[in-house]
C-alpha cells in the first residue's frame, strides 16, 4: 500500500469538512439542502466522489467554493468521499446536520486550518486514512491565553 499526503487547497478563512458516505447521486444534493436550511446565510460548495461512473458530483450556492470542493475531491480520489467548503458559517453550525444524514458514514474532520488528507492506495483504489488538521501543539495555554480564548468566544457570540 502506498500512502500520500494530499494538501487541501483553500483560501484563507474557508471552513472545510471532509467525510465519507454513499449513494452520491442523492447525498450530494441532500447535503447541499441540509447546509442551506441549517444555516440560511451560508455560502458553500459541496462535492462528492462517485465510485461508479468514477466522477465528482458538485452542488452549492457559490461557484468558487463549489470548484474548490470539486478539485479537492478529485485530488483525494477516494470513492464516496465528500468535501464541503464554506464561509459565513462554522462547522459547529452544520456538523450535526451533516453527521445525521442517513448515508453519511463518517466525518474525518472539520476545520479552517491548513489540511492534509492521508490517502492510501491499493490495486482497487484509494482510501482516506485520516487527516492532518493544522500544526502540532507545542505548549500548554497560559492563564492569559485562556482569558483570550474565553473573550473570543464571547465576541463571536458563543458565550453570554
| Average pLDDT, integer, range 14-32 | 94
Mean per-residue pLDDT, 4-23: 96
Q: Which of 4-8, 85-89, 117-121, 147-151 has the lowest mean pLDDT?
A: 147-151
- Cβ neighbours, 10 Å, residue 124: 7
Tell me the domains of the chain and their CATH numbers: 2-155 (3.40.1520.10)
Nearest to 114 by CA among 142, 78, 72, 150: 72
Q: Which 8-state DSSP code applies to residue 90?
A: -
pLDDT of residue 156: 85
Mean pLDDT across the stretch 153-160? 85
Q: Tell me, what's the pLDDT at 6?
A: 98
CA distances from 98 to 3, 103, 107 (A): 28, 10, 8
pLDDT-derived band at 25, boundaries 50, 70, 90: confident
Give the per-residue pLDDT at 77: 97
Q: How far is CA 63 from CA 36, 44, 45, 78, in A?
A: 15, 8, 7, 23
Asked if the model's pLDDT at residue 104 lies above 80, the reply is yes
Per-residue confidence at 81, pLDDT binned at 50, 70, 90? Answer: very high
Work out the pLDDT band at 80, boundaries 50, 70, 90: very high
What is the pLDDT of the chain when averaged over all its residues?
95
Which pLDDT does position 26 carry in this prediction?
Answer: 86
Q: How far apart are CA 17 and CA 89, in angstroms?
A: 12
More confident residue, 60 or 25: 60
pLDDT-derived band at 160 (thresholds 50, 70, 90) equals confident
Amino acid at each position: 500500500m502506498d500512502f500520500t499526503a494530499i494538501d487541501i487547497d483553500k483560501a484563507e478563512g474557508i471552513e472545510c469538512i471532509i467525510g465519507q458516505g454513499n449513494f452520491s447521486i442523492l447525498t450530494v444534493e441532500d447535503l447541499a439542502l441540509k447546509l442551506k436550511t441549517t444555516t440560511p446565510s451560508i455560502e458553500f460548495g459541496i462535492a462528492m466522489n462517485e465510485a461508479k461512473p468514477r466522477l465528482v458530483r458538485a452542488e452549492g450556492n457559490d461557484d468558487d467554493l463549489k470548484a474548490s470542493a470539486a478539485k479537492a475531491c478529485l485530488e483525494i480520489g477516494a470513492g464516496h468521499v465528500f468535501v464541503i467548503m464554506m464561509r459565513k458559517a462554522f462547522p459547529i453550525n452544520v456538523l450535526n446536520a451533516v453527521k445525521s444524514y442517513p448515508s453519511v458514514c463518517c466525518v474525518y474532520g472539520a476545520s479552517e486550518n491548513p489540511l492534509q488528507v492521508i490517502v492510501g492506495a491499493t490495486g482497487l483504489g484509494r482510501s482516506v486514512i485520516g487527516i492532518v488538521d493544522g500544526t502540532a501543539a507545542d505548549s500548554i495555554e497560559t492563564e492569559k491565553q485562556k482569558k483570550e480564548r474565553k473573550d473570543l468566544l464571547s465576541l463571536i457570540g458563543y458565550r453570554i
